[in-house]
Structure 1
C-alpha cells in the first residue's frame, strides 16, 4: 500500500510508517527481560560460575554425586506434591495440538488446558528420579543438583521468578547422621564462600506438631504452620492476628504462642520429647564447627517435611539463605513403602547478591590481559605469548589493531582498560 492511499492515518499508523521508512519494522520491542528474571553480563557470570564451582567442589569432595533432571515435569505430579503455598505459584504449560481438542461439555479449567509445568524446586524431581533409577544407584544415595526453578511470585530483592537452586540430599538413611552430614556439608560450602558468620536455625516438625496439638489445634496443623511460617516477616502480633482471622479461639492462639516462647527460652533440655533429644544430638554434633540454634517456631513452607527442618540465616539478608529438612514420605507417590530422605537447598541467587553487595573479588584469579596486534605478521608471536600467559593462570585475548592511527594507540589501550582488562600489551 502506498502512503498516498492512507487517508487520515492514526498516530500509531504514522509511527509505523516512520519505522517502515527506516527499515525498523512495525513494532518496537522492549529490551528488558521478563519481569522476575534477569540478564547476567560477563562479569556477573564470572561470579556466578565461581559460586557454582565452590559449591560443587565442596559437595563432590564429601561424596555427593551430581545428577540432572528436566526443568519440565508432569503437571499432575507437581500439583500433588505437598508443596505448600508454592502450588499457587506454578508456571503451567498449555497443551499442544490435538491435546487441546476438549470434548464438548467438558468443564474447562487450568488443569484441563495444561499437562506440564516448570518445576518449582529440585526435591520433587529428585524423588521421581530416584524412584525411576534406584536399582542403579548406591544406598544410601548422596546426590547434589544445581539448576533453575520457577515460581510465579511477586519479584523483590533476592526473590525471582527464575532462580538457581543448589540442592544436596541423602536418600536411604534413617539416622540423624544424614542431617548432620548434610548440615556440615552445606555449612562448609558457605564458609568457603565467606559466610562463616551465618547461623543454622533448626526445629522438628514432629515436635512442632506436639506443641500445636497440646494447644488443641492438631486438626488445623497445616493451616497453623502456614501462619507460623510468617513469624519472621510479620512478628508475633501479625501471626496472632492472622490466626484469629482464621476463626481460631483467642485462648488457643495465646496458649500456642506462649508454649513456643517457653520452649525457646527453656531450650531442648527441658523437653522429654524424643524429637527434642534427637535435635539436641544434631545440634551438639554440628555445633562443634558451626553456629546452630533451636527455633521452635521454624516451619518451612513445604508440606512434605516430616522431621527435622532447618534454615541458614545471615545478618546481611533479611530472609534465609538456604533451608531444608527430612521428607521421608515423598517417595510414597511412586511406591508403597516410604524411603527416608534428607535435603538442603542453598539460596544461590541470594548468595550471589550478597557477594555483589560486598564488592567481592574472586580470589586467586589470574590477570585478564589484552594483546593488541598491529601487524598480522605478528599474530603467531601473539599466540605464543598468549599460551604462555594462559599456562600461568591468566586470561589472554588477542585483538587486531591493524590500521589504527599510531596517534590513537593510547586511546585504544585506554578503551580496553575501561572494558576491565588488567593489562594491555601491544605486539609490534
Structure 2
C-alpha cells in the first residue's frame, strides 16, 4: 500500500524556485538593515521552558512547543500535575523573548544602545490554515537602550526602506500607544490590570468579529453596556489625528508623543488608529503595524516593550522592535529580471565527455553568475519551462563536438 510522505502538518518543504525567492527577499532585507546600522545576531532555537512561560508572550505561550526532559521515567509521568512539568525546554515562539534573554546575558559586551537584527524560524502550535503555519520565519529589528523616540524613528525608517527595496509600494503605518488604550478602558471603568488585559485581548479581535461582537464579549466578561460600547468602538474605527484631539478619554501625553513622531517622519504615511492593540502582552508604549490597501492583513508590526528585559536583568532597559511578516512578503516579491537573465543552463547530450562538460561549465561561470548542467530529455518543452520557473533566463545546447562556448548561442527560456 502506497504511503503519502509529506512534511509535518503546518510546516512546508521549499522547492528550488521558492527557496531562491525566499533567499532573494532575505538578502534584500538584510542589506537594508545593515545599511541602517543594525547588527545581526543568532540565538538558539530553544529556550528554557520557564522563560517561555513567564507571562511575557501573551497568548503565544499557549502555542509553544515543549521539549520533554531527557531520561523521564514512568514515575515522573505519574507525579506530573501538568504536561509542562515534564518539559525543561521549548521551541521559541517569537524572537523577542530570546532577544531579551540574549541582552541580559551579553550586556557587558554590547554597546549602550544596541541595534539588533534577527532573521530566523519560530514555531507555534497554530491551527494550520492559508497563510498561517506552525514553522515560519520572522524578520526582527530592535533598538535596546534608547528611551527616546529616536528608536521608533530608526525602526520605522529602516522598515519602510526595506519595503521600498522589495518593490512593495502603497503601504501605511497604523500607530497607537498602549497608554491611550488603557486610558480608553479607564473611561469605560476598566482599571484593574487583569481586567484591562482581558479587555485588550477582546478589542484585538475587532477585525474578526466587528464592533458588535467586541462589545458583546466585553459585556459578558466585564459587564460593560454592549450598546454604548459598540457605538464608541464604531466611532473609533473611523477616528484619525484630528477627530480625537482633545477627547476627554485620550491620554494627552501619549498622543502628543505620537504627533511628534509623525512630524519626525515626513514622507511616511503614519495613520493614528486608537483601536490598534497588537496581541503581545509585553508592549508598554508605542505600537504599530504595516498596512496595505490591497491586503486584509498586516505586513509587519511591533512596538515598545520597556519592561521585558528587566525581568531577566533585574534592571529595566528601554526596548522597541519592528517585525516584518516575511512569509507574507515572499508571496508578493518576484526574483529580479537581471538575476534571471544571468542564470544560464547548458543542455548536453548523454554522450558528451564529463571532463569536457566540467570545462564548459567552468567557462560559463567566468561570464555568468549561475550555471546549471541539464541532460537533454525527450520532452524539452517541460524541461525548459521548469528551468524558467526556477529563475534561469537562457540556455545553450552543447554536443560531443563542442569544445568551447565561443560562438555558442544562448536562447531565452521564456
TM bin, normalised by shorter chain, reads: 0.7 to 0.9
Equivalent residue, structure 2, for 1:180? 153
Equivalent residue, structure 1, for 2:406? none
| Count of residues in Structure 1 that have an aligned counterpart in Structure 2 | 387
Do the aligned partners of residues 426 and 101 (structure 1) sit closer, same or farther apart at CA in structure 2, a change above 3 Å counting?
A: same
Equivalent residue, structure 1, for 2:134? 161
> Among 261, 272, 278, which residue is 1:300 paired with?
278
Give the 5 Å matches for 1:181-200: 181-200=154-173
Deviation at 1:374, TM superposition (A): 5.4
Deviation at 1:218, TM superposition (A): 1.6
Equivalent residue, structure 1, for 2:84? 111
Contact 2:124–2:134 under 8 Å retained in 1: yes
- Could you say what secondary structure the match of 1:296 adopts? coil
Contact 1:316–1:354 under 8 Å retained in 2: no
Q: Is 1:335 matched with 2:310?
A: no
Distance in 2, matches of 1:389 and 1:237, equals 65
- Could you say what secondary structure the match of 1:216 adopts? coil
Gaps of 5+ in 2: 402-414
Q: Is 1:149 matched with 2:125?
A: no
> Among 50, 53, 61, which residue is 2:24 paired with?
50
Q: Judge which range, 370-379 or 141-150, deviates more.
A: 370-379
Give the 5 Å matches for 1:349-360: 349-355=327-333, 360=334
Distance in 2, matches of 1:75 and 1:376, equals 58
Q: Is 1:423 matched with 2:395?
A: yes
Equivalent residue, structure 2, for 1:405? none
Q: Deviation per CA, 1:371-401, whole angstroms, max 9, x where unpaired?
A: 4255555734x444433433434421235x5
Gaps of 5+ in 1: 1-14, 16-27, 402-408
Do the aligned partners of residues 248 and 354 (structure 1) sit closer, same or farther apart at CA in structure 2, a change above 3 Å counting?
A: farther
Distance in 1, matches of 2:77 and 2:27, equals 51
Deviation at 1:317, TM superposition (A): 2.6
Contact 1:228–1:299 under 8 Å retained in 2: yes
- Could you say what secondary structure the match of 1:59 adopts? helix
TM-score (norm 2): 0.86
Equivalent residue, structure 2, for 1:369? 345
Deviation at 1:244, TM superposition (A): 1.6
Q: Deviation per CA, 1:220-250, whole angstroms, max 9, x where unpaired?
A: 2111100111112221112112112214220
Equivalent residue, structure 2, for 1:221? 196
Deviation at 1:414, TM superposition (A): 4.0
Contact 2:183–2:251 under 8 Å retained in 1: no
Distance in 2, matches of 1:42 and 1:231, equals 39
Distance in 2, matches of 1:307 and 1:165, equals 22
Equivalent residue, structure 2, for 1:236? 211
Give the 5 Å matches for 1:235-274: 235-250=210-225, 253-254=229-230, 257=233, 260=236, 264=240, 266-267=242-243, 269-270=245-246, 273-274=252-253
Deviation at 1:190, TM superposition (A): 1.0
Distance in 2, matches of 1:206 and 1:375, equals 74
Contact 1:370–1:416 under 8 Å retained in 2: no
Contact 1:321–1:347 under 8 Å retained in 2: yes
Equivalent residue, structure 2, for 1:25? none
Do the aligned partners of residues 101 and 392 (structure 1) sit closer, same or farther apart at CA in structure 2, a change above 3 Å counting?
A: farther
Q: Is 1:74 matched with 2:48?
A: yes
- Could you say what secondary structure the match of 1:320 adopts? coil
Distance in 1, matches of 2:138 and 2:14, equals 16
TM-score (norm 1): 0.84
Distance in 1, matches of 2:290 and 2:261, equals 15
Q: Deviation per CA, 1:337-356, whole angstroms, max 9, x where unpaired?
A: 2000010111111111233x
> Among 273, 289, 292, which residue is 1:311 paired with?
289
- Could you say what secondary structure the match of 2:277 adopts? coil
Distance in 2, matches of 1:330 and 1:90, equals 18
Deviation at 1:425, TM superposition (A): 2.1
- Could you say what secondary structure the match of 1:419 adopts? helix
Deviation at 1:368, TM superposition (A): 2.8
> Among 256, 261, 267, which residue is 1:277 paired with?
256
- Could you say what secondary structure the match of 1:218 adopts? coil
- Could you say what secondary structure the match of 1:185 adopts? helix
> Among 21, 34, 51, which residue is 1:60 paired with?
34
